[in-house]
């Protein structure tokens, strides 16, 4: 345990320095765009406490992963200089664009939105849609397809419901799984599709699966951000894209409506990777999912009891709140915090991830978990999937790991489904 007061003092100084570094440009100018050339991938050392990591994230760099006190970030030369001036040690481990190009291999024909050769097992939007249609067609008594709305570019935000008597709204605890809020985190789409496959194709043969499907209503949204996801693979070249495709892109996971933009855990600059948007739920994608969740309030009571939002990477199980370092806060008493911790740790024991409160990493505001819990009392977790650490390539593990890394969460998913009772 660190002494919070001393660290906070040091961080105030750090933040001050970063403010100086980023406000030196003329009035009205924005910090350097993430679209700028010559972005480097860096390991940041010296950010060993959460307030220091919040300062690093708040400087506008693109945080790729956080592990064991180290951070991997993408930074422009100006941002790297600013962080060094603030006392952080940065070691460049690669060039962002070169690493992406190396990982992508030869470009596909322009206009072909698909994964690069070798990564065909990943599902693009059309393939994801087809997989959901196939599940609904092959298991009509168990699976039903719908949409929660449309993305900014007009794509359906497909959802699959899985339950026995799927056409009826039964009085059973409901659990929601969402994936791919962040475009480049393609392994999460596979995670949601794995859940679909498991709870349909194994229903007949696996008594544990059958028991869960019979006693729960399971909602699965494999791509919350299909526009960003398709853009990220356009032309068969990975782009390291995180946000949606509205203007310069809004970070969906800073756009949720609880304590939106409150606490230095998001950015007001459209060029930033953590741009929160001009107002809460300004992103059609978060608005649509939030409206769906709101529609599950039946007779004054929210039917969805539990939720996992899948991300990559760092191998973490995270729980709210993200906007404050405190374990308890309005809407989260000690007993509720303990329940989050207990179930989070139980799940983490099964997949080997590290369990912690989200803000133990750094402050985020406008995240899905804070909103789900504060507004709807939903036991809402974030899973940061494989790999444990890495550079920009951490978002693009080889397709060969998909079966192993999705099945790795089977027991954790079952624990949450049971806890929802």
Q: How far is the CB of 251 from Zn ion (least distance, A)?
A: 9
Cβ distance to Zn ion smaller for residue 104 or 188? 188
The DSSP-derived string for 199-254 is HHHTTTT-HHHHHHHHH-EEEEES-S-HHHHHHHHBTT------S-SSTT---GGG
- The residue with tokens 């596979």 is 190
Q: How far apart are CA 176 and CA 378, in angstroms?
A: 10
Q: How far is the CB of 183 from Zn ion (least distance, A)?
A: 9
Helices (H), 256-377: 284-295, 334-351, 368-376
Cβ distance to Zn ion smaller for residue 199 or 319? 319
**Residue 311 touches Zn ion, criterion: CB under 5 A:** yes
Q: How far apart are CA 236 and CA 116, in angstroms?
A: 5
Peptide bond preceding 313: is omega within 30 degrees of 0, i.e. cis? yes
Burial 40-53 (b: 16+ CB within 10 A, else e): bbbebebbebbbbb
Subset of residues 177 to 206 that bind Zn ion, contact rule: CB under 5 A? 182
The one segment of 50-58, 204-212, 244-252, 311-319 that binds Zn ion by CB under 5 A? 311-319
Q: How far apart are CA 353 and CA 337, in angstroms?
A: 19
Binding flags for Zn ion, 110-129, as an x/- string (CB under 5 A): --------------------
Cβ distance to Zn ion smaller for residue 182 or 194? 182
User: What 3-state class would DSSP assign to 181?
Assistant: coil
Cβ distance to Zn ion smaller for residue 182 or 376? 182
Q: How far is the CB of 164 from Zn ion (least distance, A)?
A: 33
Q: How far is the CB of 111 from Zn ion (least distance, A)?
A: 27
Q: Tell which residue, 71, 69, 67, 48, has the closest CA to residue 59.
A: 71
Q: Catalytic site residue 170? A: no
**Residue 254 touches Zn ion, criterion: CB under 5 A:** no
Q: How far is the CB of 185 from Zn ion (least distance, A)?
A: 5
The one segment of 26-34, 216-224, 305-313, 334-342 that binds Zn ion by CB under 5 A? 305-313
Q: Which residues are catalytic?
A: 384
Q: Which residues bind Zn ion (CB under 5 A)?
A: 182, 311
């Amino acid at each position: 345990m660190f002494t919070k007061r001393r660290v906070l003092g040091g961080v105030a100084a750090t933040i001050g320095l970063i403010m100086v570094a980023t406000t030196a440009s003329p009035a009205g100018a924005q910090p350097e765009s993430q679209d700028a050339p010559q972005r480097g991938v860096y390991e940041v050392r010296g950010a060993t406490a959460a307030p220091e990591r919040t300062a690093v994230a708040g400087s506008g760099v693109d945080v790729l992963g956080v592990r064991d006190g180290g951070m991997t970030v993408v930074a422009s030369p100006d941002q790297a200089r600013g962080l060094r001036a603030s006392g952080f040690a940065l070691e460049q481990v690669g060039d962002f664009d070169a690493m992406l190009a190396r990982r992508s291999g030869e470009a596909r024909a322009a206009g072909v939105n698909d994964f690069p050769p070798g990564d065909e097992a990943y599902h693009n939007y059309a393939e994801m849609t087809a997989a959901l249609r196939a599940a609904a067609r092959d298991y009509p008594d168990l699976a039903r397809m719908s949409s929660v709305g449309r993305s900014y570019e007009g794509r359906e935000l497909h959802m699959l419901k899985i339950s026995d008597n799927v056409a009826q709204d039964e009085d059973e605890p409901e659990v929601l799984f969402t994936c791919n809020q962040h475009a480049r985190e393609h392994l999460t789409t596979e995670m949601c599709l794995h859940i679909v496959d498991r709870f349909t194709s194994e229903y007949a043969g696996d008594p544990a699966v059958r028991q869960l499907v019979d006693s729960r209503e399971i909602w699965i949204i494999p791509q919350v951000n299909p526009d960003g996801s398709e853009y990220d693979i356009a032309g068969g070249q990975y782009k390291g894209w995180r946000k949606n495709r509205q203007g310069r892109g809004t970070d969906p996971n800073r756009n949720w409506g609880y304590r939106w933009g409150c606490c230095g855990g998001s950015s007001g600059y459209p060029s930033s990777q953590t741009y929160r948007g001009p107002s809460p739920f300004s992103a059609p994608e978060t608005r649509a999912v939030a409206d769906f969740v709101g529609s599950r309030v039946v007779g004054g009571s929210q039917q969805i009891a539990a939720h996992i939002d899948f991300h990559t990477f760092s191998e973490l199980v995270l729980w709210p709140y993200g906007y404050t370092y405190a374990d308890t806060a309005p809407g989260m008493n000690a007993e509720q915090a303990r329940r989050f911790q207990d179930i989070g740790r139980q799940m983490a024991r099964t997949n080997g991830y590290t369990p912690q409160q989200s803000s133990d990493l750094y402050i985020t505001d406008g995240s899905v978990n804070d909103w789900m819990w504060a507004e709807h009392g939903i036991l809402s977790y974030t899973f940061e999937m494989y790999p444990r650490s890495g550079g920009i390539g951490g978002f693009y593990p080889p397709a060969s790991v998909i079966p192993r890394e999705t099945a790795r969460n089977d027991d954790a998913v079952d624990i949450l489904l049971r806890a929802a009772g």
